Amino acid sequence: MDYKKTGADLSTVTRDLRDLDHETGNLYESIAIISKRANQISAEIKEELTNKLAEFASNTDNLEEIFENREQIEISKFYERLPKPSLMAIQEFFDGKIYHRNPNTEVQK
């Protein structure tokens, strides 16, 4: 996922609760969908960041040999400036980019 191109807000925005239940018909179901997607986004970001920072990992435990790496600092700052996963998930939900289904409400054939 390209996090640079996300249209999510960088800070918390007050939302009208009535806008959340249009797609599902249930506010709590919408919140559960957004929450699960936020957890997925968070896991993706964490895995990506861990992989990028693993290149800079040192095998020694000596504190004297630890030094600042400019590239590592820039990578960390990039991820700190990203919108929160919950804000990304809300934006995806409003844009209709989240696939969801409820097996309890689906018509059985």
- What local confidence, expressed as pLDDT, does residue 71 receive? 83
Q: Is the residue at 6 inside a domain?
A: no
Q: Is the residue at 107 inside a domain?
A: no
Q: What are phi and psi of 10, to 5 degrees?
A: -85, -20
Mean pLDDT by 10 residues, the chain (109 residues): 68 81 88 94 92 76 60 85 90 88 70
Q: Is the residue at 103 inside a domain?
A: no
37: Cα separation from own chain's centroid = 7
Enumerate helices (H) and strands (E) in the chain, giving the number of each: 4, 0
- What local confidence, expressed as pLDDT, does residue 16 receive? 83
CA dist 99 and 11 (Å) reads 25
Q: Is the residue at 11 inside a domain?
A: no
Domain count, the chain: 1
- What local confidence, expressed as pLDDT, does residue 17 receive? 83
Q: Is the residue at 10 inside a domain?
A: no
- What local confidence, expressed as pLDDT, does residue 46 receive? 92
Q: Is the residue at 3 inside a domain?
A: no
- What local confidence, expressed as pLDDT, does residue 77 receive? 87
Half-sphere exposure of 63 (CA within 13 A, CB side): 0
Q: Is the residue at 47 inside a domain?
A: yes
Domain that holds residue 72: 18-58+68-95
Q: Is the residue at 34 inside a domain?
A: yes
- What local confidence, expressed as pLDDT, does residue 1 receive? 60
- What local confidence, expressed as pLDDT, does residue 68 receive? 64
CA dist 84 and 29 (Å) reads 21
